[in-house]
Structure 1
Amino acid sequence: MNLTDISKLLGKPYFQASNCLIYNLDCLEAMTILPDESINLTVTSPPYNIGKEYENLLPLDDYINWCEKWITEVYRLTLCDGAFWLNLGYLSIENRAKAIPISYLIWDKIPFYLIQEIVWNYGAGVAGSKFFSPRNEKFLWYVKNSEAYIFNLDDIRDPNVKYPNQKKNGKIRVNPLGKNPTDVWEFPKVTSKSDFGID
């Protein structure tokens, strides 16, 4: 499905560029309009239900049910060789947990196949006085078909990693294009306009 097809279905976008459409719509309402198996990739970081100003705080069971609904729609929309990347943090459960990974709570609600959990180390954040200072969230990499999905390793290799003397029987043992990146990613959070260089 191309951008023209999407705009015909969803109407005028909030923002448009040559290769981008942004809509300010309820995700469930918008997704129900789109046809089955029309999206290659979904990358999302939904509200964590922790009381941010842009959230409608829900009882935990209602939040989990809401997550199940929109994830089911994402699954319906995803092409057979497509992928779903989900960024989630932590929430508190009274008398049970100070910071439980949300992925633990919705594990059995996700119909996709989990390839890998990526740890995002964002470097700075809340300072704890009675607990370790939080410095990570997770990216969960799901696919629709565990045997047929797209992973272009050569496009993401780290070319700055050198392999001196990595030879066996006189041949280079490693890929000359670079190393496969690890499952721990280090980059900072964007939390304010100044992080974008905006005054």
Structure 2
Amino acid sequence: MSDWLNQVFCEDALSGLARIPDGSIDLILTDPPYNLGKDYGNDSDQQSVAAYLAWTEQWISKALPKLKPNGSLYIFLTWRFSPEIFVMLKQRMTMMNEIIWDRRVPSMGGSVRSFSSVHDTIGFFVNRKDYYFDLDAVRIPYDAATKKARSRSIFVGAKWLEVGYNPKDLWSVSRLHKEHPERADHPTQKPLEIIERMVKASCPPDGVVMDLFMGSGTTAMAAKRCGRNFVGFELNAAYCEIIAARLASPPEQEMVKKRKPSKKTAKAEQPSTLRSKAA
């Protein structure tokens, strides 16, 4: 087994990517800092616009050679920077979808000088036409009322009625509230439901998913639960501890002990590796 497989490296992805052989990754699924001033224990989310876009182009250029020829990429972004970053990626890949994640934010508060922002933007890109994509793995079942309404003979035996419908490009999935059992001590944690959909659709069984900005480790958890391999990077040592705890927990247990990292711990950049017990 490769010495980098099913590991999360506690280091900067820009240097850590040298560990990963070119053409070895089936799916890049990543949620980089949005440059909105969030506290990740370092300055990665507090750059000038020019510096942020230059940094983004740098990691994209280093990461894409790691993809297999039929590989894919999903990237979470904010609407503030998605146009520029989509252009960067369109010069290298084919864009298949702009997916809108409706976070189901309550209708209260927000800006009084603009419309409230309640979504994240997700770009879905592929290398070439024969990219891996398993729609059947992520279809959404029709409810009983819909099936009953389509009970006429012309619909009997129709595959689409039995296996469900395409999830479309608007995903309405609630953000993780503070008391949610999945919630870890991370400010921008993504729901497993969304990440698992991407993994099942765009990474073959036993394939490899790479996340350059692991955060709380949701990509690694999703890959493990779905029977895929993973590799990733996380700069914050406190988040690396959270990832280790999540990967060591039973599959059905998503509760993570919430721990507020100290500023000293959060800022530490401690080279080490984490290995899943399933590796």
Q: TM-score range by the shorter chain?
A: 0.7 to 0.9
Aligned to 2:14: 28
Aligned to 1:148: 130
SS at the partner of 1:42?
strand
What TM-score, normalized to structure 2? Answer: 0.56
Look up the equivalent residue of 1:5 and give its one-letter code.
Answer: D
Q: Separation in 2 of the partners of 1:109 and 1:168?
A: 50
| Mapped contact 1:123–1:135 kept (Cα < 8 A) | yes
Aligned to 1:93: none
Aligned to 2:60: 71
C-alpha root-mean-square deviation of aligned residues, in Å?
2.3
Q: Which has the larger radius of gyration?
A: 1
CA shift, 1:106, in A, is 2.1
Aligned to 2:86: 107
Give the length in aligned residue pairs.
173
Look up the equivalent residue of 1:68 and give its one-letter code.
Answer: E
Percent sequence identity over matched residues?
24
Look up the equivalent residue of 1:131 and give its one-letter code.
Answer: S
Which is richer in helix?
Answer: 2
Aligned to 1:10: none
CA shift, 1:170, in A, is 6.8
CA shift, 1:48, in A, is 1.1
Aligned to 2:48: 59
Instruction: Provide structure 1 residue ranges, at least 5 long, that are not aligned to the other structure.
Output: 8-19, 91-99
Q: Separation in 2 of the partners of 1:166 and 1:181?
A: 22
What TM-score, normalized to structure 1? Answer: 0.76
- Where relative contact order (Cα < 8 A, 6+ residues apart) is larger, the structure is 2
Aligned to 1:119: 100
Q: What do the CA deviations read for 1:146-178 (whole angstroms, capped 9, x no partner)?
A: x11111111111113434337685765561211
| Mapped contact 2:77–2:121 kept (Cα < 8 A) | yes
| Mapped contact 1:166–1:174 kept (Cα < 8 A) | no
Instruction: Provide structure 2 residue ranges, at least 5 long, that are not aligned to the other structure.
Output: 184-254, 259-279
Look up the equivalent residue of 2:93 and give its one-letter code.
Answer: F
| Mapped contact 2:29–2:75 kept (Cα < 8 A) | yes
Q: What do the CA deviations read for 1:36-89 (whole angstroms, capped 9, x no partner)?
A: 111111111101112112252222111111101111122100001111100001
- Which of 109, 114, 120 matches 1:137? 120
